[in-house]
Amino acid sequence: MRLAGARLLDERDGQAVRAVLTADPVASCMVASRVEAAGLDPWRLGGEVWGCDSRGLRASGRLDALCFAGPNLVPLRGRPSSLRAFADRALRRRRMCSSMVGPAEQVLGLWAELSAEWGPAREVRADQPLLALRSTPLVTPDPRVRPVRPDELDRYLPAAVRMFIEEVGIDPRLGDGGAGYRARVAELIAAGRAFARFEGDEVVFKAEIGALSSMVGQIQGVWVHPDRRGEGLGGTGTAAVVQRLVSGMGRTASLYVNGYNAPARAVYDRIGFAQVGQYATVLF
């Protein structure tokens, strides 16, 4: 049966939304970090949270389908009928998101509904193992990896830009000269969530905690200077960020990686990460 439609959720649905987020805290980290900080008000949240249920959302007291629509479109839960309802709502307006990301079944199902109108995608990454580590890393952390200080932004930013270009395939400075990306990196640094190993004025390893919920921290932007690859800096540096998350912040460390990236998979295996789910990403 086709659902009547997806509905914009608000604080009256807060308990049901949080139940979905805590049911799978690793997969939900990106959305949970926003909802915990800002609630469900779209202006404060920087996006909307949608839900749909054939029995009536508030009447049933639970959500069978949930999707965040903001800078990224993140479908977290939903059967095919729910994904069609999310697609119907998304197609009522111009596409604003730069990507779709989340559990592979939901992302690829929603993309099948949207691709005729939103396609072609710049890239579809259908195989991205979602990894987690809840204990101390098996690799000795690099003691020289530390939080980046606000006064080090200009030293750190070139490495962040190079990482973004390598990973995403576009220059984050396009469009606004890099002002938006610089502000985002500065925000992560100010929050103590950007980490690097500096040698002189150069960054040789970097990583960030891109999303931080009350239960999970999602590591992103892992990068080693091209001249220093093969020395083990990626493993020991990532282990240092894991150590900070697990022992210093009391969170589960998580990340997702492209399935074809065998070297990175091997490094994360050595650190102690285990696969707990499957992500997919559609890039526009």
Residue 182 C-beta-side C-alpha neighbours within 13 Å: 12
Q: What are the structure tokens assigned to 266, written together?
A: 């091997």
Regarding pTM above 0.85, the answer is yes
41: alpha, beta or left, given left = phi > 0 and alpha = psi -120 to 50? beta
pLDDT at residue 61, as a whole number: 64
The superfamily (CATH) of domain 146-278 is: Gcn5-related N-acetyltransferase (GNAT) (3.40.630.30)
* DSSP H or E stretch at residue 261: none
Using alpha carbons only, give the angle 190, 222, 176 rounded to the nearest 5 degrees.
60
pLDDT of residue 67: 98
For residues 109 and 179, what is the distance between their CA atoms, to the nearest angstrom? 34
pLDDT for res 1: 36
Q: What residue segments make up the domains of the chain, in order of their start?
A: 7-120, 146-278
Q: Residue 93: which H helix or E strand, with range? A: none
Residues of the chain with pLDDT under 70: 1-4, 54-61
What count of other Cβ atoms lies within 10 Å of the Cβ of residue 144?
Answer: 15
